[in-house]
Every structure is written in C-alpha cells, then in structure tokens.
Structure 1
Amino acid sequence: MGSSESYSYPALPSQEELDQYNVPLWYRDKCAANVIEYYKCLDKGTSFCNKTKDEFYKCQYFALKERLDNYNKQKH
C-alpha cells in the first residue's frame, strides 16, 4: 500500500492556539493547523471555506494512509 504521492504536514500549533480555537481532542493531530485555518475561515462569516476544508480532509487522508502503512509494516 505504498504511497506514490508525498504530503508535507503543516507545523503543529501550540497548545494555546488549540485551546483558543476550541479544537476538539480528536482533531489534535498532525492536521490540527488545517482545522484552525478552517475555523478561522468560518469565523469570518463566509461560506467559501471549501478550500480550507478540502485541505484538512486531504491532510487527514494522508495521515490515515501513513498509519495504515505503519500498521501493515508492523504486521509483516
């Protein structure tokens, strides 16, 4: 299940930033910075946040692929 596409994760936000934007515990992972950007967009009151939302889901996808690859390596 090797990934042919590489993805660079954003820098991890500080604990204060996570608390400031009320990021739920289940989103406090490698993609937390993307959640914060999405929340910032929503706070502006605009409905055009699809780009930031899509970026968050893309990050979640690559994080899941990475976890699955690591799991499969440990099994074998």
Structure 2
Amino acid sequence: MTVTNFPPLLSEDDMQKYKVPLKWRDRCAAYFVLFNTCLIRQSANSSVDCSGDKHSWEECENLDLIRRTKQLNDKKEELKNQD
C-alpha cells in the first residue's frame, strides 16, 4: 500500500482508546493504530505479517516530515522577504 495523502485525524478519544503514545499523535496516528493492532494480532498468531502496515506508517511519517520541512522553509522565506 502506498501513502498518497494523509488519513483523517483521529479524535483525542480514539487516541486514548488505542493508547497512542504522545510522540506518535500526529497526522499518521491512524496508520500507527493499524500497525499496533497488527502487532497485537501477530503476538497471538505468528503467521500474521505486519510489514505492510509498518511500511505505510513509516511512509506517512516520512511524508509528514517532508511537509513540515517545506512549511518551515516557506515560513522562513516569508519572514526573510518581509525585511
């Protein structure tokens, strides 16, 4: 599965329900929940493969990092042009 856009943001209640750690409560929390749920299933049945879910979550995190970096650079450029 390829991540082309970000999933809808999870509500605070959903993040607490799925016990998402604070450091992963971002745009990709939905993918984290899918991966974490898969890991729980994998612990019960070793034939379950979570590599696809992990890849989707990591890809989303990478895209979000790129988005935030671009946003920061745009803001710096805007402030530089105001001077």
TM-score bin (small chain): 0.7 to 0.9
Alignment of structure 1 residues 37-48 onto 2, 5 Å: 37-45=34-42, 46=46, 48=49
Give me the TM-score of the superposition, normalised by structure 1. 0.83
Q: Which residue of 2 aligns with 1:64?
A: 65
SS in 2 for 1:44: helix
Q: Which residue of 1 aligns with 2:56?
A: 55
Task: Give how far 1:54 is off.
Answer: 0.5
Q: Distance in 1 between matches of 2:69 and 2:37?
A: 30
Q: Structure 2: which 5+ residue stretches go unaligned?
A: 78-83
Q: Which amino acid aligns with 2:36?
A: Y
Q: Distance in 2 between matches of 1:54 and 1:75?
A: 31
Q: Which amino acid aligns with 2:15?
A: L
Give me the TM-score of the superposition, normalised by structure 2. 0.77
**Bigger Rg, which one:** 2
25-34 or 40-49: bigger deviation: 40-49
Q: Structure 1: which 5+ residue stretches go unaligned?
A: 1-5
| Aligned residue-pair number | 71
Whichever structure has more helix as a proportion of its residues is 2
Q: Distance in 1 between matches of 2:76 and 2:8?
A: 30
Percent identity, please: 30
For 1:35, which of 18, 23, 32 is the aligned residue?
A: 32
